[in-house]
Amino acid sequence: MVSLVEGFWSLQGEGPWVGAPTLFLRTAGCPLRCTYCDTVESYEAPKEFEVRDLQGEGLHLMSNPVTADSLLSASWFQPKGLSCWLSLTGGEPLLWPGFCREIFEAARPRGFHTLLETAALDVAALRQVLPATDHVSLDYKLPSTLNSQGDHADAHLACLEAAVHAEIETSLKIVLTPSTGPGELQQALRAIQPFREGFSLVLQPVTPCLEEREALDARQLLRMVEVALDMDFRIRVLPQVHKSLGLA
Protein backbone atom coordinates (compact mmCIF):
# COMPACT_ATOMS: atom_id res chain seq x y z
CA MET A 1 0.00 0.00 0.00
CA VAL A 2 1.03 3.59 -0.56
CA SER A 3 -0.47 7.05 -0.25
CA LEU A 4 0.01 9.19 -3.35
CA VAL A 5 -0.36 12.91 -3.90
CA GLU A 6 -0.74 12.73 -7.67
CA GLY A 7 0.11 10.81 -10.80
CA PHE A 8 0.81 12.53 -14.11
CA TRP A 9 2.40 12.16 -17.50
CA SER A 10 4.98 14.80 -18.37
CA LEU A 11 8.57 15.24 -19.50
CA GLN A 12 11.38 14.60 -17.04
CA GLY A 13 12.47 18.02 -15.84
CA GLU A 14 15.60 17.23 -13.84
CA GLY A 15 18.80 15.25 -14.07
CA PRO A 16 20.47 13.23 -16.83
CA TRP A 17 17.16 11.96 -18.32
CA VAL A 18 15.74 15.44 -18.76
CA GLY A 19 13.19 15.61 -21.57
CA ALA A 20 12.26 11.91 -21.47
CA PRO A 21 8.52 11.11 -21.51
CA THR A 22 7.70 10.00 -17.98
CA LEU A 23 4.82 8.79 -15.86
CA PHE A 24 5.34 10.31 -12.42
CA LEU A 25 3.86 8.93 -9.20
CA ARG A 26 4.32 11.35 -6.33
CA THR A 27 4.29 9.66 -2.94
CA ALA A 28 3.04 11.36 0.23
CA GLY A 29 5.19 12.27 3.22
CA CYS A 30 8.64 13.75 3.66
CA PRO A 31 10.79 14.04 6.80
CA LEU A 32 12.70 17.05 5.46
CA ARG A 33 11.80 20.71 5.00
CA CYS A 34 13.95 22.18 2.23
CA THR A 35 14.05 25.95 1.84
CA TYR A 36 13.31 25.58 -1.89
CA CYS A 37 10.59 22.88 -1.69
CA ASP A 38 8.14 23.12 -4.58
CA THR A 39 5.95 20.21 -3.43
CA VAL A 40 4.78 21.28 0.03
CA GLU A 41 1.45 19.61 -0.78
CA SER A 42 3.25 16.26 -0.56
CA TYR A 43 3.88 16.53 3.20
CA GLU A 44 0.43 15.14 4.06
CA ALA A 45 -1.47 12.39 2.25
CA PRO A 46 -4.72 13.63 0.70
CA LYS A 47 -7.84 11.47 0.92
CA GLU A 48 -7.94 11.28 -2.88
CA PHE A 49 -5.48 11.94 -5.67
CA GLU A 50 -5.79 12.58 -9.38
CA VAL A 51 -3.94 11.05 -12.32
CA ARG A 52 -3.53 13.39 -15.32
CA ASP A 53 -2.55 12.78 -18.93
CA LEU A 54 0.16 14.57 -20.90
CA GLN A 55 -2.22 17.46 -21.66
CA GLY A 56 -3.04 17.86 -17.96
CA GLU A 57 -6.53 16.36 -18.29
CA GLY A 58 -7.79 14.23 -15.40
CA LEU A 59 -7.77 10.49 -16.15
CA HIS A 60 -8.63 8.96 -12.84
CA LEU A 61 -9.54 9.92 -9.27
CA MET A 62 -8.38 7.37 -6.71
CA SER A 63 -8.60 7.07 -2.92
CA ASN A 64 -5.67 6.70 -0.54
CA PRO A 65 -4.11 4.42 0.46
CA VAL A 66 -3.85 2.55 -2.80
CA THR A 67 -2.31 -0.79 -3.77
CA ALA A 68 0.24 -1.31 -6.53
CA ASP A 69 -2.21 -3.76 -8.13
CA SER A 70 -4.96 -1.16 -8.45
CA LEU A 71 -2.54 1.24 -10.18
CA LEU A 72 -1.18 -1.48 -12.45
CA SER A 73 -4.67 -2.51 -13.55
CA ALA A 74 -5.57 1.05 -14.66
CA SER A 75 -5.69 1.65 -18.43
CA TRP A 76 -3.29 4.63 -18.21
CA PHE A 77 -0.54 2.51 -16.66
CA GLN A 78 1.07 1.69 -20.01
CA PRO A 79 4.23 3.15 -21.55
CA LYS A 80 3.89 5.78 -24.26
CA GLY A 81 6.17 5.36 -27.27
CA LEU A 82 9.25 3.20 -27.37
CA SER A 83 11.21 4.63 -24.50
CA CYS A 84 9.56 6.11 -21.49
CA TRP A 85 10.07 6.11 -17.79
CA LEU A 86 8.18 5.51 -14.60
CA SER A 87 9.47 7.92 -11.97
CA LEU A 88 8.74 7.60 -8.27
CA THR A 89 9.11 11.03 -6.75
CA GLY A 90 7.95 12.80 -3.65
CA GLY A 91 7.74 13.71 -0.98
CA GLU A 92 10.11 10.89 -0.20
CA PRO A 93 9.35 7.63 -2.06
CA LEU A 94 11.62 5.56 0.21
CA LEU A 95 9.08 5.98 3.02
CA TRP A 96 7.29 3.26 0.97
CA PRO A 97 10.06 0.83 -0.08
CA GLY A 98 7.81 -2.23 -0.50
CA PHE A 99 5.55 -0.34 -2.88
CA CYS A 100 8.51 1.10 -4.82
CA ARG A 101 10.00 -2.33 -5.40
CA GLU A 102 6.66 -3.93 -6.30
CA ILE A 103 5.60 -1.31 -8.83
CA PHE A 104 9.06 -1.11 -10.44
CA GLU A 105 9.19 -4.89 -10.83
CA ALA A 106 5.78 -4.90 -12.51
CA ALA A 107 6.50 -1.85 -14.69
CA ARG A 108 9.71 -3.14 -16.27
CA PRO A 109 8.19 -6.07 -18.21
CA ARG A 110 5.60 -3.63 -19.59
CA GLY A 111 8.41 -1.60 -21.16
CA PHE A 112 8.97 1.17 -18.61
CA HIS A 113 12.43 2.21 -17.49
CA THR A 114 12.36 2.84 -13.76
CA LEU A 115 13.68 5.97 -12.06
CA LEU A 116 13.78 6.58 -8.33
CA GLU A 117 14.15 10.14 -7.03
CA THR A 118 15.08 10.12 -3.38
CA ALA A 119 16.36 12.42 -0.68
CA ALA A 120 18.81 9.59 0.15
CA LEU A 121 18.14 9.29 3.88
CA ASP A 122 17.51 5.55 4.35
CA VAL A 123 20.07 3.13 2.95
CA ALA A 124 18.16 0.01 4.06
CA ALA A 125 15.06 1.13 2.16
CA LEU A 126 17.18 2.07 -0.84
CA ARG A 127 18.79 -1.38 -0.93
CA GLN A 128 15.31 -2.94 -1.16
CA VAL A 129 14.45 -0.93 -4.25
CA LEU A 130 17.77 -0.81 -6.13
CA PRO A 131 17.45 -4.25 -7.79
CA ALA A 132 14.35 -3.03 -9.68
CA THR A 133 15.76 0.43 -10.50
CA ASP A 134 17.31 1.55 -13.81
CA HIS A 135 18.35 5.01 -12.64
CA VAL A 136 18.55 6.39 -9.13
CA SER A 137 18.69 10.12 -8.53
CA LEU A 138 20.04 10.82 -5.05
CA ASP A 139 19.90 14.18 -3.33
CA TYR A 140 22.72 15.60 -1.27
CA LYS A 141 21.10 18.31 0.83
CA LEU A 142 23.45 21.10 1.81
CA PRO A 143 22.76 22.18 5.42
CA SER A 144 22.08 25.77 4.28
CA THR A 145 19.06 24.49 2.28
CA LEU A 146 17.39 22.70 5.19
CA ASN A 147 14.98 23.92 7.86
CA SER A 148 14.63 20.45 9.38
CA GLN A 149 16.96 19.22 12.09
CA GLY A 150 19.97 17.02 11.63
CA ASP A 151 22.97 16.54 9.42
CA HIS A 152 22.23 14.02 6.70
CA ALA A 153 25.71 13.76 5.21
CA ASP A 154 26.32 10.23 6.55
CA ALA A 155 22.98 8.98 5.21
CA HIS A 156 23.60 10.56 1.79
CA LEU A 157 27.03 8.97 1.67
CA ALA A 158 25.73 5.51 2.64
CA CYS A 159 23.05 5.72 -0.08
CA LEU A 160 25.57 6.81 -2.69
CA GLU A 161 27.92 4.00 -1.75
CA ALA A 162 25.09 1.43 -1.96
CA ALA A 163 23.95 2.65 -5.40
CA VAL A 164 27.46 2.75 -6.83
CA HIS A 165 28.36 -0.68 -5.46
CA ALA A 166 25.13 -2.10 -6.91
CA GLU A 167 26.28 -0.72 -10.29
CA ILE A 168 22.99 1.10 -10.84
CA GLU A 169 23.14 4.16 -13.12
CA THR A 170 23.33 6.91 -10.52
CA SER A 171 23.19 10.68 -10.43
CA LEU A 172 23.61 12.81 -7.35
CA LYS A 173 21.94 16.20 -7.27
CA ILE A 174 23.04 19.19 -5.24
CA VAL A 175 20.76 22.23 -5.30
CA LEU A 176 22.72 25.48 -5.19
CA THR A 177 21.17 28.63 -3.78
CA PRO A 178 22.50 32.19 -3.32
CA SER A 179 23.38 31.16 0.28
CA THR A 180 25.62 28.31 -0.83
CA GLY A 181 29.26 29.09 -0.18
CA PRO A 182 32.16 27.40 -1.99
CA GLY A 183 33.33 26.01 1.38
CA GLU A 184 30.01 24.25 2.00
CA LEU A 185 30.05 22.72 -1.47
CA GLN A 186 33.68 21.70 -1.10
CA GLN A 187 32.94 19.90 2.16
CA ALA A 188 30.10 17.91 0.53
CA LEU A 189 32.21 17.07 -2.52
CA ARG A 190 35.11 15.92 -0.36
CA ALA A 191 32.78 13.38 1.28
CA ILE A 192 31.52 11.93 -2.02
CA GLN A 193 34.80 12.21 -3.92
CA PRO A 194 35.85 8.55 -3.36
CA PHE A 195 32.85 7.45 -5.47
CA ARG A 196 33.10 10.08 -8.19
CA GLU A 197 33.75 7.62 -11.01
CA GLY A 198 30.52 5.75 -10.29
CA PHE A 199 27.96 8.55 -10.72
CA SER A 200 27.30 11.84 -12.44
CA LEU A 201 27.11 14.96 -10.34
CA VAL A 202 24.21 17.27 -11.16
CA LEU A 203 24.54 20.85 -9.94
CA GLN A 204 21.06 22.34 -9.99
CA PRO A 205 20.76 26.12 -9.65
CA VAL A 206 17.72 26.75 -7.50
CA THR A 207 14.43 27.77 -9.06
CA PRO A 208 13.15 30.53 -6.77
CA CYS A 209 10.40 28.97 -4.65
CA LEU A 210 9.10 29.03 -1.06
CA GLU A 211 11.86 30.66 1.04
CA GLU A 212 14.29 30.96 -1.85
CA ARG A 213 13.32 34.23 -3.49
CA GLU A 214 16.45 34.82 -5.59
CA ALA A 215 17.99 32.93 -8.47
CA LEU A 216 21.66 32.04 -8.36
CA ASP A 217 23.92 34.64 -9.89
CA ALA A 218 25.78 33.27 -12.97
CA ARG A 219 29.19 34.19 -11.56
CA GLN A 220 28.43 32.38 -8.31
CA LEU A 221 27.26 29.34 -10.28
CA LEU A 222 30.47 29.29 -12.28
CA ARG A 223 32.54 29.54 -9.09
CA MET A 224 30.74 26.36 -7.89
CA VAL A 225 31.43 24.68 -11.22
CA GLU A 226 35.14 25.45 -10.81
CA VAL A 227 35.09 23.90 -7.34
CA ALA A 228 33.63 20.66 -8.74
CA LEU A 229 35.94 20.55 -11.75
CA ASP A 230 38.99 21.15 -9.57
CA MET A 231 37.97 18.03 -7.61
CA ASP A 232 37.71 15.93 -10.81
CA PHE A 233 33.95 15.36 -10.85
CA ARG A 234 31.98 14.47 -13.96
CA ILE A 235 29.35 17.21 -13.79
CA ARG A 236 26.28 18.56 -15.48
CA VAL A 237 24.68 21.88 -14.63
CA LEU A 238 20.96 21.32 -15.13
CA PRO A 239 18.19 23.68 -14.01
CA GLN A 240 14.62 22.45 -13.56
CA VAL A 241 13.73 22.38 -17.25
CA HIS A 242 10.03 21.61 -16.72
CA LYS A 243 9.65 24.93 -14.90
CA SER A 244 11.05 26.93 -17.83
CA LEU A 245 8.74 25.00 -20.21
CA GLY A 246 5.72 25.64 -17.97
CA LEU A 247 5.17 21.90 -17.40
CA ALA A 248 4.07 20.02 -14.31
Q: Which residues lie near ligand SF4 (CB under 6 A)?
A: 30, 32-34, 37, 39, 42, 90-92, 119
- In the complex with ligand SF4, the residue whose CB is nearer, 77 or 140, is 140
User: Helix 153-165 crosses helix 182-192 at what angle (to 10 degrees)?
Assistant: 40
Q: CB 88 → ligand SF4: shortest distance, Å?
A: 13
The least CB distance from residue 143 to ligand SF4, in Å, is: 13
Query: For ligand SF4, which is the closer residue by CB, 210 or 247?
Result: 210
> What is the chain's Cα-based Rg?
17
DSSP 223: H
Q: What is the Cα–Cα distance from 248 to 193, expressed in whole angstroms? A: 33
Residue 37 Cβ vs ligand SF4, minimum distance, rounded to whole Å: 3
> Is the Cβ of residue 72 or residue 146 nearer to ligand SF4 in the bound state?
146
* Residues pairing with 85 in the sheet: 22, 113
Between residues 95 and 164, which has the closer beta carbon with respect to ligand SF4? 95
Nearest approach, Cβ of residue 209 and ligand SF4 (Å): 9
CB of 39 to ligand SF4, least distance (A): 5
Beta carbons of 176 and 141 less than 8 angstroms apart: no
Longest distance between any two alpha carbons in the chain, whole Å: 50
CB closer to ligand SF4 out of 63 and 147: 147
For residues 37 and 5, the answer to whether their CB atoms sit within 8 Å is no
- Residue 13 to residues 26, 36, 58, 209, 211, Cα–Cα distance (Å): 14, 16, 21, 16, 21
